[in-house]
C-alpha cells in the first residue's frame, strides 16, 4: 500500500519543476524550459521514500539523460513501496517559451504494473467529468456523445463547451461540433490540463475531444480516475514504425478502446500538478521580491477521492540545491 503522505511529497516535486521552468517564461527557448523542469523534478524525486520506475517520461534511455523510461527513482530502500511513475515535467513547452497560458508540471503514481506503458504517439481521446460519466462512447458519433453529455449535465446543447487542441487535424471535428451548435474552446498546448478541466465546473469546460499525445492520455486518465470522471482513448499510430512499436509493447489491437482501467489499473492512484503559467484551474508561478516564489498546485488520490489545492510560498534562497537560476 502506498503511504498517503506521498501526496505532499509529489507536490514538492512538481513545485520545484514548475519554479525552475517558469524562469524561462516568454524567453523563446522551449528546450531550456523543459530541461529546467526535468532537472528540478529529477532532484526532488531523490527525496521520496519510494522504489519507483518511470513508465512514461522524457523518452527512451538513449533519447533522454534523465526521467527516461525505465529509470529508477526515489530512495529505493528495502521497505519502500514499488510504484510506476508517469511524468510530464513541462506539459506545454511552447506555452512557456511564448509566455502563453495553461502550462503545468504533472506526475501520476500508482502501484507497480498499474500504469499503461503508452507508446510515444497520438491517441484519439474523449474525457468528461463525474456528472457525465457513463454517457460517452468514443466509437459513437460526435453528435450522439454531445447530446448525451448535454442531457447528463442538464444543459441545452448550445451551452455545452468542447475543448480540443488547435490543430489542422481537427478541422472536420470543429465543423461538426459547430453544426451541432456547441461552444468550442481551443488551446495550443497542454491537453492534460484540458482533460482535468472537465471535472471542475468553474472552468466552463464540459468535454475534451480530439487527438493528442498518448503518454499525456495516461497521465490525464490518472487524474480523472482520482476525480471520478471518465476517459476513453484509442491509439492513433501514423506510420508503420509506430504500428510495429505498439506490437512490441504488447498492444496487438491498435483499434481497441482503452478505458480508465486499461490505462490506469488499481484503486490507489496519486496525481499532482503545479501551474507554470496561468491556467483555468491553476495559477502560474509568481515571482516576488527577495527571491520568493508562490506556486499553485493540486494533488489527489483515487482511493480516498480527496482533492487538495495547495498554495505555497517558497524562499528560494533556502533551496539553492533544487532551484537553478536561468
Residue 71, annotated as binding a ligand: no
Residue 305, annotated as binding a ligand: no
Residue 306, annotated as binding a ligand: no
Residue 92, annotated as binding a ligand: yes
d(CA 68, CA 57): 5
Residue 228, annotated as binding a ligand: no
Q: Report in angstroms the alpha-carbon separations of 226 from 11, 194, 229, 269.
A: 15, 16, 8, 7
Least Cα distance to 50 among 7, 18, 88 occurs for: 7
Q: Is 70 left (phi over 0), alpha (psi -120 to 50) or beta?
A: left
Helix (H, G, I), strand (E, B) or coil at 148: helix
Residue 179, annotated as binding a ligand: no
What sign does the dihedral 193-194-200-202 (CA atoms) show?
positive
Residue 58, annotated as binding a ligand: yes
d(CA 15, CA 272): 9
DSSP string computed for 215-265? HHHHHHHHHHHHHT-EEEEEEE--SHHHHHHHHHTT---TT--B-HHHHB-
- Burial zone of 130 (CB within 10 Å; 0-12 exposed, 13-18 middle, 19+ buried): middle
H helices present in 79-190, as ranges: 93-98, 142-153, 171-180
Residue 289, annotated as binding a ligand: no
Residue 70, annotated as binding a ligand: no
Helix (H, G, I), strand (E, B) or coil at 24: coil
Residue 236, annotated as binding a ligand: no
Residue 190, annotated as binding a ligand: yes
Residue 93, annotated as binding a ligand: yes
Residue 57, annotated as binding a ligand: no
Residues annotated within the binding site for substrate are 91-93, 122, 167-169, 189-191, 213
**Which residues carry a binding-site annotation?**
34, 58, 88, 91-93, 122, 167-169, 189-191, 213, 216
Residue positions in the annotated binding site for Mn(2+)?
34, 58, 88, 91, 216
Amino acid at each position: 500500500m502506498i503511504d498517503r503522505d506521498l501526496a505532499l511529497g509529489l507536490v514538492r516535486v512538481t513545485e520545484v519543476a514548475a519554479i525552475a521552468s517558469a524562469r524561462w517564461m516568454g524567453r523563446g527557448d522551449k528546450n531550456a524550459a523543459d530541461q529546467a523542469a526535468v532537472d528540478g523534478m529529477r532532484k526532488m524525486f531523490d527525496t521520496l521514500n519510494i522504489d519507483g520506475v518511470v513508465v512514461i517520461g522524457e523518452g527512451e534511455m538513449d533519447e533522454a539523460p534523465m526521467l527516461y523510461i525505465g529509470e529508477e527513482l526515489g530512495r529505493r530502500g528495502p521497505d519502500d513501496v514499488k510504484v510506476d511513475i508517469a511524468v510530464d515535467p513541462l506539459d506545454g513547452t511552447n506555452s512557456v517559451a511564448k509566455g502563453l497560458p495553461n502550462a503545468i508540471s504533472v506526475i501520476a503514481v500508482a502501484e507497480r504494473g498499474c500504469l499503461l506503458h503508452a507508446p510515444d504517439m497520438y491517441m484519439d481521446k474523449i474525457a468528461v467529468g463525474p456528472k457525465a460519466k457513463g454517457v460517452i462512447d468514443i466509437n459513437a458519433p460526435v453528435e450522439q456523445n454531445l447530446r448525451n453529455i448535454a442531457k447528463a449535465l442538464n444543459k441545452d446543447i448550445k451551452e455545452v463547451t468542447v475543448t480540443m487542441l488547435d490543430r489542422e487535424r481537427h478541422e472536420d471535428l470543429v465543423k461538426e461540433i459547430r453544426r451541432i451548435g456547441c461552444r468550442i474552446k481551443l488551446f495550443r498546448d497542454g491537453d492534460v490540463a484540458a482533460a482535468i478541466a472537465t471535472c471542475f465546473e468553474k472552468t466552463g469546460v464540459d468535454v475534451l475531444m480530439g487527438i493528442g499525445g498518448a503518454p499525456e492520455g495516461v497521465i490525464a486518465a490518472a487524474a480523472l480516475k482520482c476525480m471520478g470522471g471518465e476517459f476513453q482513448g484509442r491509439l492513433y499510430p501514423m506510420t508503420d514504425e509506430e504500428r510495429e512499436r505498439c506490437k512490441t509493447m504488447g498492444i496487438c489491437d491498435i483499434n481497441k478502446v482503452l478505458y480508465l482501467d486499461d490505462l490506469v489499473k488499481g484503486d490507489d492512484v496519486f496525481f499532482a500538478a503545479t501551474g507554470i503559467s496561468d491556467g483555468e484551474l491553476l495559477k502560474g508561478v509568481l515571482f516576488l521580491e527577495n527571491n520568493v516564489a508562490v506556486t499553485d498546485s493540486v494533488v489527489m488520490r483515487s482511493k480516498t477521492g480527496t482533492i487538495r489545492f495547495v498554495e505555497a510560498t517558497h524562499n528560494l534562497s533556502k533551496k539553492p540545491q533544487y532551484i537553478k537560476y536561468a
